[in-house]
Amino acid sequence: MQIKVNNATLELVQGDITQQGTDAIVNAANPTLLGGGGVDGAIHRGAGPDLLAECRTLGGCETGDAKISNGYNLKAKHVIHTVGPVYRRDGKQAPELLASAYRRSLEVASENGLKSVAFPSISTGAYGYPLTEAAPIALKTVADFFKAHPDIELVRFVLFDGKTLAAYEEALKRLPSD
């Protein structure tokens, strides 16, 4: 499923983000940037040990911020590491922190001249963000970013399982078109 926002494409696919050939893939990391489980573990395995070595030099990452590294053995030349909110811990601030994780990732992509970015569903695994709440925030933040930054041409959400894809498809159908 895909839509156009201005001249940019926003698309939803089911798959493994480590296999994507976009200019960057986004990692749902933790503030240490030193690896973990879920998509973070898969990205570090796919990139190889040089990624961890570079991440050690990045000085960690605050919740809602993003840092860029090389992609090493991945098809994508870059990994943008962001940290989403922990749903139960961050409470009322969780929606803005989730939006910030997407927005900062795209700002970093734009600052580095990148044109295509693949995202996983940030915070909806180990960090416990309910999918039905997270998906509309993710899609609206990306659609709003496109309106202000025509340099980004493609954002692909790479959703690991059918349930996650279905939640994003439902949210995309309901996305306000203003």
Q: Name the residues annotated as catalytic.
A: 40
Percentages (nearest 5) of helix, strand, coil residues in the chain: 40, 20, 40
In the shown chain, the binding pattern of residues 40 to 59 toward ligand AR6, with x for contact by CB under 6 A and - for none, equals x-x-----------------
CB of 150 to ligand AR6, least distance (A): 27
Give the tokens for residue 178.
């203003």
Residues in the chain: 178
End-to-end CA, the chain: 20
Minimum Å gap between C-beta 144 and ligand AR6 is 21
64 binds ligand AR6 (CB under 6 A): no
How far is it, in rounded angstroms, from Cα 23 to Cα 12?
A: 17
Measured from the CB atom, is 39 or 117 closer to ligand AR6?
Answer: 39
Site membership for ligand AR6, residue 164 (CB under 6 A): yes
- Interacting residues of 57 by C-beta distance below 8 A, sequence separation 6+: none
Whose CA is closest to 26, among 152, 150, 147? 152
Instruction: Report the site for ligand AR6 in 82-141 (rule: CB under 6 A).
Output: 84, 120-127
Interface with ligand AR6 by CB under 6 A: which residues? 16-18, 28-30, 36-40, 42, 84, 120-127, 158, 160-161, 164
